Structure 1
Amino acid sequence: MKLASLSPGTWYSLLATLLLLTLIAALRIGAVDLTFDDINHILRHGLGLSSATVDPVSEGLFLQIRLPRVLLCATVGAGLSVSGVLMQALFRNPIVEPGLVGTSSGAALGAALVFVLGKNINWAFTDALGLFLLPCVAFTFAFAATLLVYRIASISGKVNVATMILGGIAINALAAGGTGFLSYIARDPQARSITFWNLGTFSGADWTQFALVFPVTVIGILLALRFTKALNILILGEDEVRHLGYNIDRLKIQVLLLNTLLVAIGTAMVGVISFVGLVVPHLLRLLKTSDNRFLVIASALLGGALLTMADTIARRLVAPAEFPIGVITAFVGAPVFIWLLVRNARSFQKGGFYA
């Protein structure tokens, strides 16, 4: 049976099973491997269902480090993948992802600003935001960068993909320059944090970060489902969307805001992770369909699974040290992006999504 002929429900079941198996494997594998019996005893003891003696080191490792890390990784992967779906539908091109249009680099610049200046930022709301300062600043810079790239790309009234990519390169360069300057004036601990953060890492994951990212990502995915019908119509052109009663300008801003929210909340916590939003939606599009109603849910499941796999590899590759996960996703995503560019150029005359 061909994969494309499977029903969406079957696809969701398969991808949910893949995600579950990936989570289980990630919980077991690491610098210190845990058996299923170990995990069972730790969970039962943690929930108060067992009075058996549990190794406190293993319990702390699992409950305070590995479990929140794995759950956060799956959540961020889901958010980045859904963001890729939204961006590709909005720009009507399969080679778009948050890292290419300035979203990730803008969030990185905002986060670096908070890292270096911290409480020295004399904003009235700095103390009031508290724990939310970093994601809020990252969101502001990410949205500004994405909006600027979109304005540049649509300056002629129609989104020009070549102009969009060039504009993204320019904005990414400006953001990278700003981040580099902040790294230059930062003290050693701050500069080190910025360096590792720009490479992407889940090493600092904890329950607080998960509590911030998870609800925002879930709400973002649910909101993304509201725009899938309009985004499907947008493939045919902006005039079609207007004829059906949609406010195209409002739709663009809403999608950009939602995309920025999904990217910025994850990026602010774990750093820049590239190409997940590019590879996952396009892989599903090739295997099944371009229907955004399917892609949003399927991408969330597959993105969570793939990023969890990548993080597991990062933890085991140079154990007991840790390999930056952003490097792994770049090594995989960059060749895929090159292939997509070649494929997109060859398909340019076909019309539809690739026009």
Structure 2
Amino acid sequence: MKKKVAVYKVAFFIVLLVALVTALYLGAYDFNQSVFEIVSTYFNTNTHTADSFVLIELRIPRILMAILTGAALAISGTSLQGLFKNPLASPDLIGITSGAVLFAALTIVFGSAVMHLLPAFFRYVLLSVMAFIGALLTMWFVYKMATSNGKTHILILLLSGVAITALTGAVTGFLTYISTEEELRNITFWSLGSLAGSNWWKVCLVFIVVLLGSIRLLSKGKILNALMLGEKEAAHLGFDIEKTKREIIIIVSLMVGCVVAFNGTIGFVGLVVPYILRFVFNSNYNILLPLSMLLGAVILLIADTISRTIVIPAELPIGILTAIMGAPVFISILINYKRKLK
């Protein structure tokens, strides 16, 4: 098994490198030099050209953001599915994403009224902080609704997610109705999802959040495996179940809130990735968690490359592509569940 896992890790890493190099060259702008020559000239002579600006200030940050966002959404979805012992549990299906989008929309519409009262740094991170708060509150509400006497009821969890998604969608729709033209464009950006606004500051902030969050989630493989036996059995093995639930919920909310704040709604990644990996590795979370990060990064990087090249010079919102990829997988999961009920 270890050899098989190592082979998959190497394979995913190679595919990621190939996708990364390919993404560097693809886009609406064609370079006059090779990527290596542009980077070498930029750092050795400090010469700023159109090629160096597009590559270093636009394309590379966007590629890195795609990798980080894909990894964050994939490991978040895998962790939630392990925590709730259900392959349908993902950030977008149980309402975390819609909660983050709602609070981002509230900030876009009403934030200008208080923005001048805030310190300069907090103005920059306000949207991310509010998106995190929205994700955390949504996850807390859904978790409380679905938990009774220390046991989480999966059906109530999913139905609560559907309800909160409908409610936050309605409020977001109202905010869209009362927004100005500029605010409407910003809300539409969050609703459809795009990595076009990526820059080095955003990449650095997301990198810190994803790095710290992923380190903690990667250490939860053993307890997630134990939870497959049941919460009581996992507790008998010495694991603190409630502490683990709180920690995973907070970390997932932070990671999802952060990437949604900068990139908008990018759905189904947390659903598709673990579903694909389970065909090979079943539900061994010591294996699923690290592999989900690699596969999530690969899928989102490829999706973003397609989104910015398929309708050049325009750009197709990446949230549309991930929904096209994820919806058939979601339907196939439901079909498998239906077969098991017979």
Q: Which residue of 1 aligns with 2:137?
A: 144
**Which of 6, 17, 20 is the aligned partner of 1:20?**
17
5 Å-filtered alignment, 1:255-270, equals 255-270=248-263
- Do the aligned residues in 2 keep the contact of 1:119 with 1:126 (CA within 8 Å)? no
Distance 1:220 1:33, change over 3 A: same
C-alpha distance 288-245 of structure 1, shift in aligned 2 (>3 A): closer
| Separation of aligned partners in 1, 2:339 and 2:68 | 35
- Comparing 103-112 and 279-288, the one that deviates more: 279-288
* 2-structure distance, mates of 1:68, 1:127: 23
Q: Distance in 1 between matches of 2:121 and 2:299?
A: 36
Indicate how the Cα distance of structure 1 residues 180 and 121 shifts in structure 2: closer, same or farther if over 3 A, else same: farther
The residue that corresponds to 2:232 in the other structure is 239
For residue 128 of structure 2, what is the amino acid of its counterpart?
P
Distance 1:202 1:128, change over 3 A: closer
User: Could you tell me which of 179, 188, 193 is aligned with 2:186?
Assistant: 193
Structure 1 gap ranges (5+): 350-355
Distance 1:209 1:16 in 2: 24
- Kindly indicate whether the alpha-carbon contact (under 8 Å) linking 2:62 and 2:198 is maintained by their aligned counterparts in 1: yes
Letter in 1 for 2:23: A
d(CA) in 1 for partners of 2:221 and 2:331? 27
Going from structure 1 to structure 2, the CA distance change for 1:189 and 1:125 (only over 3 Å counts) comes to closer
Between the aligned partners of 1:130 and 1:182, the Cα distance in structure 2 is 21
Determine if the alignment matches structure 1 residue 314 to structure 2 residue 283.
Answer: no
CA distance in 2, matches of 1:84, 1:245: 25
Q: Which residue of structure 2 aligns with residue 212 of structure 1? A: 205
The counterpart of 1:39, out of the listed 35, 38, 44, is 35
State which drifts further: 150-159 or 212-221.
150-159
Contact 2:99 2:134 in 1 (8 A): yes
Instruction: Report SS of the residue matched to 1:47.
Output: helix
Structure 1 residue 288, shift from structure 2 partner:
2.6
Q: TM-score, normalised by structure 2?
A: 0.94
Q: Deviations over 1:101-124 (max 9, x none)?
A: 110001001111111111424898
Match for residue 166 of structure 1 among 145, 159, 164: 159
Distance 1:30 1:94 in 2: 35
Partner in structure 1 of residue 98 of structure 2: 105
| Contact 1:26 1:312 (C-alpha < 8 Å) held by counterparts | yes
Counterpart residue identity of residue 72, structure 2: G
Q: 2:79 is aligned with what amino acid?
A: L
**Aligned partner of residue 313 in structure 1, secondary structure:** helix
Shift in CA distance, 220/66, structure 1 to aligned 2, threshold 3 Å = same
User: Structure 1 residue 302 and structure 2 residue 314: aligned?
Assistant: no
CA–CA distance in 1 between the matches of 2:52 and 2:96? 38
CA deviation after TM superposition for structure 1 residue 247, in Å = 2.1
Instruction: Give the CA deviation at 1:33.
Output: 3.5
More moved, 229-238 vs 144-153: 144-153
Distance in 2 (alpha carbons) for counterparts of 1:345 and 1:5: 33
The separation in 2 between residues aligned to 1:126 and 1:263, in whole angstroms, is 25
Give the direction of change, closer, same or farther, for the CA distance of 1:140–1:247 in structure 2 (3 Å limit).
Answer: same
Q: Is it true that 1:337 corresponds to 2:330 in the alignment?
A: yes
How far apart, in 1, do the equivalents of 2:123 and 2:101 lie? 19
Identify unmatched segments of 5+ residues in structure 2.
Answer: none
Query: Is 1:327 aligned with 2:324?
Result: no
Contact preservation (8 Å) 2:115, 2:123: no
The structural deviation recorded for 1:333 is: 0.4
2:53 aligned residue: 60
Question: 1 CA distance for matches of 2:37 and 2:23?
Answer: 17
Query: Which residue pairs with 2:89 in the alignment?
Result: 96
Q: Which whole-Å deviations, capped at 9, do the CAs of 1:44-100 have from their partners, x for residues lacking one?
A: 01221x68x88x112111111111001111110000000011110011011211001
Q: C-alpha deviations, 1:157-202, integer Å up to 9, x for none? A: 5332222221111100111112112212211101111012210001
Q: Which amino acid aligns with 2:39?
A: L
Residue 171 of structure 2 corresponds to 178
User: CA contact under 8 A between 1:200 and 1:324: conserved in structure 2?
Assistant: yes
Partner residue of 1:9? 6
CA distances 1:230-249 after superposition (whole Å, capped 9, x unpaired): 11100110001211222221
Tell me by how many angstroms 1:156 deviates.
6.2
Preserved contact between residue 69 and residue 203 of structure 1 (Cα < 8 Å): yes
